[in-house]
């Protein structure tokens, strides 16, 4: 008999498992494939500036709490495992090349001021001084620098979470999808996998885009939609710049070792996680429009991931309405890595019957 079984071994599931084990709970993670190898691995690792003043939106409260936790989690993970997650406060520059992009960003200043989001407006010369690698044409009208944007390296973070969980007593069962469930009245008592039957006092589904397909008994399927994103990884002798560059939903994320991520798109392609030549070429052309011609040997690899989208843009967090000891933490879309720390803290508080620091009712399943 376990205290908690977590179904899903991505960043949300591994974070919940480590947080729960750190409180003394006996935890098993069931993962249908390999831990940390799906959407969590495929992301860019960006941790954007949150609102800090007058925050009322529930999702922004979760983002702020998560953002503040990341620095301490990175430190703890390195102390426990010796693994550097490459967390750093790198800053980000939002650029405007068209009149519409520039006007939209300029209009956002009042919102940023109101919510205590630190930024610095950059003219063309200031932008050139900060990002000298950018090509001069077509001219960039201006940019806004956000010093509080951070990043970490997804594979390193996931490796550290897995190792920290194991050292805290978490049992990780890979290639073990949930096949069927045993229910007694309004409680689950066990889940069956190809490796056997696991009993627990509580269960938490955190399987990302696959959360709707874990076969829960007598419940409506979760409203999760897989949204594909494609990315390119470039490699340079040294990082071409230090800060993240964003233009709308597109971004360039520099790593300390000279690698550079370019992403991303949003496609409804079902559970097809393959890249397509058309989208990769679009991303490549966009990257070259900022950096100039990029030789073929700079492109190291391409990949795609499936983000778990929801109908209203809010993740599902909380207790299942029909099953007393079942909890759900999924649907974080593009923000799973960023929101993982706060999500883990809140979910373990809920599972343990403690006072919850953020009202989870706006994130309820229905």
Q: Which domains does the chain have, with CATH numbers?
A: 2-85+153-223+311-363 (3.50.50.60), 92-148+225-310 (3.30.9.10)
* Token couple for 312: 């209203």
pLDDT at 310: 92
pLDDT at 214: 83
Q: Give CA separation, 76 vs 23, 48, 65, 84, in Å.
A: 15, 21, 17, 10
For each successive 10 residues of the chain (366 residues), what is the average pLDDT?
96 98 98 92 95 94 97 98 98 94 95 97 89 82 95 97 98 95 94 94 95 73 88 94 94 96 94 96 96 92 95 92 94 96 98 94 89
pLDDT at 139: 78
pLDDT at 312: 87
pLDDT at 124: 84
How many CB atoms sit inside 10 A of residue 274's CB? 10
Distance in angstroms between the alpha carbons of the first and the last residue of the chain:
30
Whether residue 25 contacts residue 353, with contact meaning beta carbons closer than 8 Å, is answered with: no
pLDDT at 213: 79
User: In sequence order, what are the residues at sequence separation of 6 or more whose Cβ sits closer than 8 angstroms to the Cβ of residue 221?
Assistant: 212, 213
- Which residue do the tokens 């990769």 mark? 280
Closest residue by Cα to residue 316 from 26, 16, 59, 41? 59
pLDDT at 208: 94
């Amino acid at each position: 008999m376990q205290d908690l079984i977590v179904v899903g071994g991505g960043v949300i599931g591994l974070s919940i498992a480590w947080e729960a084990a750190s409180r003394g709970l006996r935890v098993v993670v069931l993962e249908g494939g390999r831990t940390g190898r799906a959407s969590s691995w495929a992301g860019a690792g960006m941790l954007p500036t949150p609102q800090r003043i007058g925050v009322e939106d529930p999702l922004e409260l979760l983002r702020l709490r998560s953002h503040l936790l990341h620095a301490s989690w990175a430190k703890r993970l390195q102390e426990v495992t010796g693994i550097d997650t490459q967390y750093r406060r790198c800053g980000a520059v939002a650029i405007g090349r068209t009149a519409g992009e520039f006007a939209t960003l300029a209009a956002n200043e009042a919102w940023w001021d109101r919510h205590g989001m630190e930024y610095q407006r950059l003219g063309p010369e200031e932008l050139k001084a900060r990002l000298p690698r950018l090509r001069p044409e077509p001219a960039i009208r201006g940019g806004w620098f956000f010093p509080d944007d951070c990043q970490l390296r997804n594979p390193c973070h996931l490796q550290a979470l897995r190792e920290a969980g194991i050292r805290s007593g978490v049992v990780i069962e890979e290639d073990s999808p949930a096949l069927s469930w045993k229910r007694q009245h309004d409680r689950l008592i066990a889940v069956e996998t190809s490796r056997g039957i696991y009993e627990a006092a509580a269960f938490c589904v955190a399987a990302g885009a696959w959360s709707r397909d874990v076969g829960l008994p007598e419940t409506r399927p979760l409203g999760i939609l897989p949204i594909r994103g494609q990315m390119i990884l470039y490699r340079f002798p040294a990082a071409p710049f230090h800060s993240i560059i964003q233009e709308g939903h597109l971004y360039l994320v520099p790593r300390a070792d000279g690698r550079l991520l370019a992403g991303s798109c949003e496609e409804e392609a079902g559970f097809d996680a393959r890249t397509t030549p058309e989208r990769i070429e679009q991303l490549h052309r966009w990257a070259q429009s900022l950096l100039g011609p990029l030789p073929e040997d700079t492109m190291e690899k391409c990949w795609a991931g499936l983000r778990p989208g929801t109908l209203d843009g809010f993740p599902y967090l909380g207790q299942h309405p029909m099953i007393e000891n079942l909890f759900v933490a999924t649907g974080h879309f593009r923000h799973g890595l960023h929101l993982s720390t706060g999500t883990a803290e809140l979910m373990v508080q809920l599972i343990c019957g403690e006072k919850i620091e953020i009202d989870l009712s706006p994130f309820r399943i229905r």
